[in-house]
């Protein structure tokens, strides 16, 4: 649970407890407990949504890291090929932004 949302729920629960303890004073108020319960549920719903999105983001980030590793391998292969293709003309490596490793 997100900390700031949890603190909201805790505060609502404390207020609800106070209303219950002092119910004779709150009987004239229009559905104070129901309003609090409704707000608690709303906070819980958004917290659930935040948790789901965090999980989804984590999964996407894991996929992105896998893709990064695969693409880095491909870049390495292409760089090695460029080094081979231009072995006799190393100045051409600048076209690929590859530093001449012979110097």
Token pair of 58 as six digits:
């984590």
| Exposure class string for 56-77: b at 16+ Cβ within 10 A, else e | eeeeeeeeeeeeeeeeeeeeee
- Does residue 57 carry a pLDDT above 80? yes
Q: What percent of the chain has pLDDT over 90?
A: 85
Whether 16 and 36 have beta carbons less than 8 Å apart is answered as yes
Read off the tokens for 30: 């229009």
Expressed in angstroms, the distance from the first to the final Cα of the chain is: 56
Q: 63 or 32, which is more confident?
A: 63
Instruction: Estimate to the nearest angstrom the gap between the alpha carbon of 75 and the chain centroid.
Output: 28
* Residue 1: pLDDT over 90: no
């Amino acid at each position: 649970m997100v900390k700031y949302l949890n603190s909201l729920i805790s505060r609502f629960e404390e207020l609800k407890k106070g209303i219950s303890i002092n119910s004779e004073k709150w009987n004239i108020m229009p559905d104070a407990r129901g309003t609090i319960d409704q707000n608690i549920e709303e906070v819980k719903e958004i917290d659930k949504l935040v948790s789901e999105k965090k999980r989804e983001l984590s999964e996407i980030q894991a996929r992105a890291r896998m893709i990064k590793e695969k693409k880095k391998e491909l870049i390495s292969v292409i760089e090695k090929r460029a080094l081979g293709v231009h072995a006799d003309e190393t100045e051409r490596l600048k076209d690929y932004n590859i530093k001449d490793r012979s110097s």
